[in-house]
Structure formats: C-alpha cells, structure tokens
Amino acid sequence: MSPIVAHPDVRRMLMRMRSLTDAARAIAYSLAHAIDRQHDAGAGEAQVDWAQRAALLTPVAKAFATDVGFEVASLGVQVHGGMGYIEETGAARHLRDARIFQIYEGTNGIQAIDLVTRKLGLGDGLAFKALVDDLRSMIADAQAEDPSLAPACEPATAAIGELVFAANWLTRAASEGRQEDLLSGATAFLRLFAIAAGGALLLKAAGIEVDAPAAELRRASAHAFAVDELPHAAALRIAVIQGGRMLGPVTPSVLALMQES
C-alpha cells in the first residue's frame, strides 16, 4: 500500500496549503517591515510614505491571512480523509478554530471596504502605485536571478496588470459616486490584491540564493502559487467590475423570496 502522499491530488493539496501559507506570511512580513521603517524614518516624507504603505497593506494582510487560514485548515481535513472529520487527528478542531479569525477585528468584508474606500486612494493613489512598482521590480529581479522562475513570472506579471486595471476602475467608480459598484467589488478586489502581491513576494523569496533544500522549497511554493492561484486574477478582475450587476436584480421582492426559502 502506498502512502497518500504518493497520490498527485494529495501532493496538489499539500502544495496549495504551503503556497497559500507562504503568500499570507510574506504579506504579513511586508506589513511588519513597513511599520518598522515608518518608526525608523523619523519625521518627513519617508515616514509618510512608509505609514501609507503600512495602512494600504493592513486590510490585505488581515483578510487574506485569515481567509487562507480557513482554506488551509479545510484542505487539512480533506488530506486526512474521513479521519480528518473526527476528533482523533485534530484537523477538524483547527478548521473550527480558524473560522473566527475571519470575523475578529472587523469582518473581512469590512476590511475590503476599508481597502477600497480609504486605503486605495492614499496619497492621491501614489501609495498604491509605489507598491505596484515594487512588486513589478520583484518579479523582474527574480527572473534575472533565476531564469527557471520564468514560467511563474509570466502569470505574476499578468496578475499585477489585472490588479492595476481593477484599481483604476474602482478609483473611477469612487470619483463618479458609484457607491454600489465600489462596495460590491471590494471583496473580490482584496483577494486580487493579495494574490498579485503574494505571487510577487513568493518570487522574490524564491530568487534569493540560499542553500538547498530551503531554496528548492521556496521555488516549489512560488511555482505552485503561479499555477493554482495567479490564474484567478483575471476572473477576480471581472468580479470587481461586474459586482454591481450581480446585486442589481436583488430587488425587495427577491430579498423577500430569499427570506422565505
């Protein structure tokens, strides 16, 4: 009898768990770095820039990390199969415990609203632009350091493009007072933001030259994220710009029917 890790679908789930965790951790580290630099910069323009970077990343780090925590815990139950659903392994307890973090400190929907209404426009949008420029530089540097990362760099670059498109669309919606469009696309935008940033950060980590096997694991994580998560960027961009269309038909009569059913 073969161990379950011999099955490709189990390996797929394990790599997804690893890459999602690594991406969430990388975003949290980036937020911590921005906070540290803000405190070290003293008064002046640099201090403002780092404070805005920290503010921009805060809702993304909170919401994405807690969403990922629940997704990874759910995958952990699936990896264990029937044994994961009972108390013996502890996997089910992790799943139950992880759920509350999406609610603590403001639900993740509130974090998404905060991102699109207050954080995206910081510094007249320059804080977002500076972060995007840094993410693009990370991808370019990773490919230059390690050409084997090229297959992961292409979808990462495409995801950044989708992020910028969605951000520009939301900024225009805000300026035109289209509040329904702005808020209905917020959650999809936060996820798009997180996977685009996460993909670039994982490539940055993968491009750092260190001894194996740590470097090999980081490269595997970056490639897994590129295959499993980054392709969702295009769909999330569509969800951002068409979120209002989904809510438009939800009239009072439809809401009444939903409550009855």
- The CB-side HSE value for 217 (13 A sphere, CA atoms) comes to 10
Nearest-5° angle of CA 225, CA 228, CA 234? 100
**Largest Cα–Cα separation, the chain:** 65
pLDDT, position 211: 64
Instruction: Determine the Cα–Cα distance for residues 219 and 228; give it in Å rounded to an integer.
Output: 14
pLDDT digits over 187-242, tens only?
A: 999 999 999 999 999 999 998 766 677 888 999 999 999 999 999 999 999 999 99
- The CB-side HSE value for 252 (13 A sphere, CA atoms) comes to 0
Instruction: Determine the Cα–Cα distance for residues 167 and 241; give it in Å rounded to an integer.
Output: 10
pLDDT, position 258: 74
Closest CA to 23 of 248, 175, 232: 232
pLDDT, position 210: 61
Instruction: Determine the Cα–Cα distance for residues 143 and 139; give it in Å rounded to an integer.
Output: 6
pLDDT, position 37: 95
Instruction: Determine the Cα–Cα distance for residues 13 and 76; give it in Å rounded to an integer.
Output: 8
pLDDT, position 163: 98
**Of 45, 87, 88, 105, catalytic:** 105
Known active-site residue 105: yes
Which residues, given as ranges, of the chain have pLDDT below 50?
none
